[in-house]
Chains A and B, each alone.
Chain A
Amino acid sequence: MVSNDIIISLLIIGLGAVFMMLVAAFSKLSNLILSYITLLIISFAIYFQTSYLGELFALDIQAELFNHMLRFDSFASLFNIIFLVGAFLMIATARAFMHATKFFMAETFSLILFAIFSMMLLSMANELLTAFIALESASVAVYILVGINRYNVRASEALFKYLLLGSFSGAFFLLGIAFVYAQVGSTHLGAIHEYLSLHQDNELIIVGGILMMITVLFKISAVPFGAWTLDVYDGASLPITAFMAGTFKIAIFSVALRILLVDYQGLADFFRPLLIIAAVITIIGGSLLTLAQQNIKRMLAASSIVHSGYLLIALSATTAASTSAAPSIIFYLVAYFLSAIGAFGILSYISHWDTERTTYEDLKGFSHENPILAAMMSVFMLSFAGFPSTIGFLGKFYIFTSAIESGLMWLALLGVLAAFVSIYYYFKVIAMMYFYEQKQSYNLRFSFTPIVIAIVAIAVLWGGIGTGLVSFLPGANVIIETAQASISSLFL
């Protein structure tokens, strides 16, 4: 049964963040122990969160106290689990990296928890201002995380680039809220929908919607708003890049989906062409950008733009009354995030002290010394490319079917062509690892990290071929069914 104690995992993360900050200030515990404490905190939160998984529910948290600003439903619950698992896996896979670098300080863990806390709030926000505050506080935590490597000029450059552009684009969201408020007289999500169904005039709501869309497009690094992506992803240290590409992007989609589905369904005809244009230029621009990259980290950064493009295809399909589009977005986000965590995890595992080995040259002949790691990297690349028998394939399958379902056949064709181009740059990584002579010795020490990565790799494969035949594991169809349930909870 769902009751008001449901925010317990939110509280655990929030208090945990404060606790970690105090620990950082007053104790001299090593990074290793701090990371264990953080993992423990997150596992508690996951434990409390998963007890609601699979249930269909929606209720306002402490309606009197918060004035209906926070809404906890299956949708938020699913997203919260994804954030928590994302943070857990990020910290777990980054262990070797933290051990090797000196800039991972105790505050890092506190910041990660703060970011997660804000993202959880973001997915629960039932009111635009709350969403804005949550979005900004998550962003602030991420800004600092990007620049956490004080010894690296590129990281500082990335921090300032991201900070300036991010705050600038955040202002659009605020302005959008102002416009919406001017017309509706409320910033509650349900209120806009109600207003649209009763009134004819909607100019200010449209303007507000476009302004908010700009912020969202900026944050998910759609072309042309995503010009920051390459440098920021490249400048940030690998685990942070994984966190941004995997987890933070999902948070943005959670709020975008909620606003779009709950509020702006009435204006779907207006927003569809805009989203389609965004999808088309994002996919084309992202693909061209990715082809030009000579560094795997930058390639993954650029290809995350293409993945945003696929998601925008599905987002435009949601406006065309496709019931399968919104769940397909959630599925795709899960698929992408698992692959991203794994791929970045391997890259950070093979970093040599504080030198990241991320060029194609660095990976040449990688398989000769580390066959199993290379196989796992190949699995992640195949999943990115949407190769069958990985979770990435089913992700693309759902997105393309939803596009076809809503009559956007040409968009599906464009997606397929982009997937074809992506085969080239992802297979190039595999080719580098297997088909070339070994250039350098890696001397990797065995640790906890590759085991976590292996679990992620198995999840990626199982997500693609899993059947209901194995009773104790959820099959591939469970994720999409959970996603569907969570979408329907939005309208309870």
Chain B
Amino acid sequence: MENILSLLIFIPISSAILLFLLPLEVKYIRYASFIVTLFTTVLSLWMFHNFQVSANMQFIEEYAWIKEYGISYHVGIDGISLIIIMMTNLIMPLLYLSFWHLNRKGYWLNLLIVQGGLTGAALSLDLILFYLFWETMLLPIFFLIGLFGRENKNFMSMKFTLYTIFGSLLMLLAILYLGHAHHLQVGVWSFSITDLHLLSFDTQTSLLLFSAFIFAFSIKIPLFPFHTWLPQTYRAAPTGAIVIMSALMAKLGVYAIWRFVFTLFEELSFKSSYFFVLLGLFGMIYFGIAAIKQRELKKLFAYSSASHLSLVIMGIFAFNYYAHLGAFYMIASHALSSAALFMMLGMIYKRTQSLHISTLGGIVHQAPVFSVFFAFFALSIVGIPLTGGFVSELLLIVGAFKYNIILGFISATTLLIAILFVFNVMQKVLYGKIRLASFEDLRLYEFLSIIPLALLILAMGIFPSYFLQKLKPTAQQYIQKEVIHGQ
């Protein structure tokens, strides 16, 4: 299975196109797409099993695409892209299960395309190829929000698209400049990161290029102050789109910073790390406080998600072993928790047509099983022991202390902000006065869609060493350099 990565990318995309063209009933399209995602999940598990514990790129495929400009179809996988791929492939089939009741054809097809786009972006080692997938995965989100969203969905789908494309287009310009610089310095065009990271620039140029990349990725994550699209988009978007955006796309932004920004502008990343660690810390506190003030659950967890991603950013810019390991682990554990939480929010919305805290209450009396799971996932976001979140936060705090004692202290204490809003939500929504006439407990397919996530979160909390060993070599990548740069 040499071309397993291509299979992971193109099976979903081509089946989406095929299913679009076939005049099938929605029911069969649902089955077919579910089977396709299950199949890619099996493939990805096979790959996980065969993944060698090392920092090298594996399963590499490289074919020339546009020779004249040195653009190639170049994909490969290492520890950090493995996380993104595994999360994508684990969450997608469960996401399908969680809204098995829906009978809209476009929903399933767009999700298939977004899966292919995400996988492709996480595996690309050629900048043009990466840009292609990075933009392609935006299109299904545009459609999902516009077709299945609510309230001012048309406006929001446009706003989200324009906002993110603006960042990407500046990045495109930077990519083109890099290719041109390679042409100037080496004599041939190339857009492969393995070639481009050898280039050298003067400070001003590299700062501009660095900013263009960071700008594009910060919008997607989102990093303060580029988060202004976040609350309204999450409010308007349907569950499927939110799960993708928060659990997978945002993580892909972090991944892209690691893969492209760190590789291409290594020195500048070290030099500016202090700024981004502070920005991450500030973002975590800022979004945390913003989350406390929210009364709409989707918005609240949108901010909570942004808050944790800022923490991840702090982790990867701290440039030490523990912080990196913690950041990777948090990418995985937070993807699982936030996917599960947003899926459950979708279930609440389906039952009540509202996600405002004031209209909800006392669910625990009406739906005990639902409440247990909701509480579990909410607490796993905070990082209670026995969950993956705990391990990752612990590692991140150790990393932060190693970076700077004061920052470590601040991050350790401010992590508690998350507890404030999570407990508030649990108190108001699960307990409190019964406000709903009835609240149906989990149905079988809903139960099936979240139980694997719960088990995996537990497994990540109880046996972290099994999962961490695959990541260790990648996290060690910058240890040597850390000494050289004197961080």
Contact = CB atoms under 8 A, between A and B. Distances in A.
Given A387-B135, A388-B131, A423 B176 contact: no
B66 interface: yes
A387 B128 contact: no
Contacts of B73: 467
A431 interface: yes
A477 B146 contact: no
Contacts of B147: 434-435
A404 B165 CA distance: 20
Nearest to A469: B63
Given A372-B21, A416-B170, A477-B65, A387 B177 contact: no
B169 A420 contact: yes
B48 interface: no
B153 A435 contact: yes
Contacts of B65: 467-468, 475-477
A423 B173 CA distance: 16
A177 interface: no
Interface stretch (A68-76, A343-351, A405-413): A405-413
Contacts of B128: 397
A372 B141 CA distance: 19
B373 interface: no
Contact of B20 (A375, A393, A431, A435): A375
B142 A427 contact: yes
B143 to A, nearest CB: 7
Given A416-B170, A468-B64, 6 more contacts: A382-B139, A387-B135, A401-B176, A420-B162, A436-B154, A476-B65
A468 B73 CA distance: 11
Given A435-B154, A480-B66, A401 B165 contact: no
Interface in B133-180: 135-136, 139, 142-143, 146-147, 153-154, 157-158, 161-162, 165-166, 169-170, 172-173, 176-177, 179-180
A265 interface: no
B69 interface: yes
Contact of B162 (A389, A423, A476): A423
Residue in A397, A468, A481 whose Cβ sees the most chain B Cβ within 10 Å: A397
A143 interface: no
A391 to B, nearest CB: 12
Interface residues of B, number: 37
Contacts of B143: 434
B142 A397 contact: no
Nearest to A484: B68
Contact of B176 (A394, A397, A427, A467): A397
The 3 closest A-B pairs by CB, nearest first: A435-B146, A388-B132, A477-B66
7 contacts: A372-B21, A389-B136, A401-B69, A401-B176, A417-B169, A435-B153, A435-B157
Contacts of B135: 387-389
- Interface residue tally on A, bucketed by range: 35 or more
Contacts of A424: 158, 162
A371 B26 CA distance: 14
A468 B65 CA distance: 7
A301 interface: no
Nearest to B73: A467
Contact of A388 (B136, B161, B162, B170): B136
A244 interface: no
A431 B63 contact: no
A419 interface: yes
B365 interface: no
Contacts of B158: 424, 427-428, 431
Interface in A72-92: none
A401 B180 CA distance: 7
Given A405-B183, A409-B177, A389 B68 contact: no
Nearest to B138: A387
A397 to B, nearest CB: 7
A173 to B, nearest CB: 35
Residue in B66, B128, B136, B139 whose Cβ sees the most chain A Cβ within 10 Å: B66
A71 to B, nearest CB: 26
Contacts of A243: none
Contacts of A423: 161-162, 165
B67 interface: yes
Residue in B21, B65, B179 whose Cβ sees the most chain A Cβ within 10 Å: B65
A434 B177 contact: no
Contacts of B21: 372
Interface string A370-403: 0110010000001000011100011001001100
Nearest to B128: A397
Contact of A404 (B63, B162, B176): B176
B111 to A, nearest CB: 16
Contacts of B154: 431, 435-436
A375 B135 CA distance: 17
Interface in B100-142: 128, 131-132, 135-136, 139, 142
B349 to A, nearest CB: 20
B173 A416 contact: yes
